[in-house]
Amino acid sequence: MKISIVAIAALAVSAGTAIAAPITEEQSWTETYVVTGSSPRLEVSNIWGSVQVRVGPPGRITASVTELRTAPDRARFERSQEILKLEVEADASGVSFVVGDDSRHWRRRNDCHNCRVDYQFDIEVPPDAVVDVGTVMDGKVDIQDVAGTIRASNVNGPVSVAGVRDCEAVNSVNGQITMGYSQAPLQDCRIETVNGDVTLVMPIDTGLDVQLDLFNGEASSELPVSPLELPATVEEIVEDSRTRYRIQQMAGMRVGAGGPTYSIASMNGDLRIRKQQ
């Protein structure tokens, strides 16, 4: 393991009073993990920073990681090392990277005011890997050419997936979602965003049944579509011994001859289905 560390700790003197400057430390390393069998798993749960996944040789997962840690002073810097650390679990079936404390409750970062640790993950996985990755702040999720099932999430940033076969769930709160497929998908998938468009780039022979829940957006398609009737969902709500019912009727459309079900929801965003060039 190769580690290069740059640490800065300076004192500024103003009006005769010594004030500690913020402390910054950066380190980078690359580690390779041997995995055996089909469909090895990769899990990444990040807070600040991006996650990039590419395809590499079979039988191993290689992760290049850059950690940039900052805190207002030495005491809080040391506190951040306790609660904002990278937990790695690896065995023959796959690798898990989780940023947080031992209990994995990353919101405990509030115990260390103005502390931050950015992790940039560049990871190579076998072609058939099952990928489940996400980040929260100031980063993007970028996955390419993975043949296994994809799960991806972001809170404040985009999700970009290209050259994949199937997804299970993809979501973003403030950011667009772009999905590109190497073949017509074969399994159901749930795609959600709050503030952001959803773009699907698919082969011409794709068949899908799409359940649409667009609160403030439109749907368009370069592939042939037809109306799809969906049953209404009836929810019974009991309050103060009174019963009321909420009925939701999603819009539906069939892409091509139909196929797996894609549930797509957005609060403020459009759905675009584009033809693969």
Confidence tier at 215 by pLDDT (50, 70, 90): confident
Structure tokens at 145: 């050419």
Domain spans of the chain, in order of start: 6-205
Tokens 């290689």 — which residue?
A: 62
* Per-residue tokens: 83: 């609660």
Q: What is the pLDDT of residues 190-210, one digit of tens each?
A: 999 999 999 999 999 999 999
Q: Mean pLDDT over all residues of the chain? A: 87
Placement of tokens 């679990």 in the chain = 89
Spatial distance between the Cα atoms of 191 and 269, rounded to a whole number of angstroms:
12
Pairwise CA distance, residues 263 & 193, whole Å: 11
Model confidence pLDDT, tens digit, residues 106-149: 444 456 888 999 999 999 999 999 999 999 999 999 999 999 99
Q: Residue type for 14, please?
A: S
Can you tell me the distance from the alpha carbon of 60 to that of 156, in angstroms, rounded to the nearest whole number? 30
CA 203/CA 224 separation, integer angstroms = 12
Predicted TM-score (pTM) of the model is 0.83
